[in-house]
A = this chain, B = another copy of it.
């Protein structure tokens, strides 16, 4: 991680200046000198303690700052103050539109509360995630929001314990007692199955990525089974695993799915696929299109949790998560922890919203 020695320090292109502009950014001392005062007053000015400065001094400071195009160095401030207003946001997969939307909520909240988000993208690599978490520690972020891949609780701060304050998004982390915000998975799945059943689909396959390690997937899968049981055997439910990280496994799994669909079709059952999230839905749709042709929608119904922008185009029924709010709330939770709130771990579960489209109106 360290840059290592050996860099030719002699090189210095920055010296080639056009003319007036200072080679080095002005420091607080420069401003103090320019304004003919001490650093303290500058600092006071920067921190908004205006009432305490004489109008004259204040004017001189303003002028000096302007003239030197001075910008306080956050790093130095952070070092002295012990807080740098940096929040880490660790995302498992930015290719998932869910993450991008949550990110937007996080950004909005950060602005409102005066934080700067340090966004880290693990790209589904558990090793990346580990490195980023370490990096965040190193940059002394005041807290982290984690959409975990495989983080161990050891690096995070359990409520009331040591480490760095964390709030979890979408997924819990084994053994970590922290604030959590996400979807009300059980309710969302029930919403979906109820819709499917009401539309007369009596053979439902729930397709989900390997769920043992990921709480949200686990909860969705459990809710699905429970939901089907509650239907009193009126419909047949089946869980199907699709490991998107392993293309070979995906092929095998899709073949099995095809077989199931064929069997169902032969027996005259109306069949629906319930994708546990957007990436799964996309993979399914692509496959169905390839396997059944452009009019695959007439052969099998598809519903999904998450509402990516292409869902409308493809006409797929979805259960939309209030993603922005999830991100926003996560920051709020974290902020409270950072400010020292000593309450027990909280959890916010938002409701999903059913968006009915053509795919389930067959």
Contacts and interface: CB of A to CB of B under 8 A. Distances in A.
B84 A75 contact: yes
A94 B103 contact: yes
Nearest to A22: B162
A74 B88 CA distance: 14
Interface in A47-77: 47-49, 71-76
Contact of A78 (B1, B23, B49, B75): B75
A310 B97 CA distance: 12
Given A21-B161, A289-B315, A313-B313, 9 more contacts: A2-B47, A18-B162, A71-B134, A71-B137, A76-B79, A79-B79, A104-B121, A289-B313, A294-B358
A79 B339 CA distance: 26
Nearest to A279: B309
A114 B314 contact: no
Given A5-B49, A100-B95, A100-B100, A17 B121 contact: no
A337 B294 contact: no
Oligomeric state, in number of copies? 2
Contacts of A2: 46-48, 114
Contacts of A14: 340
Interface string A1-17: 11111011001111011
A349 interface: no
A134 B5 CA distance: 31
A179 interface: no
A51 to B, nearest CB: 10
Q: How large is the interface on A (under 10, 10 to 19, 20 to 34, 35 or more residues)?
A: 35 or more
Given A14-B340, A139-B116, A286-B313, A94 B85 contact: no
B315 A75 contact: no
A308 B310 CA distance: 10
A3 B294 contact: no
Contact of A74 (B5, B22, B138, B342): B138
Contacts of A158: 18
A161 B11 CA distance: 16
A14 to B, nearest CB: 6
Contacts of A1: 114
Contacts of A123: 104, 107
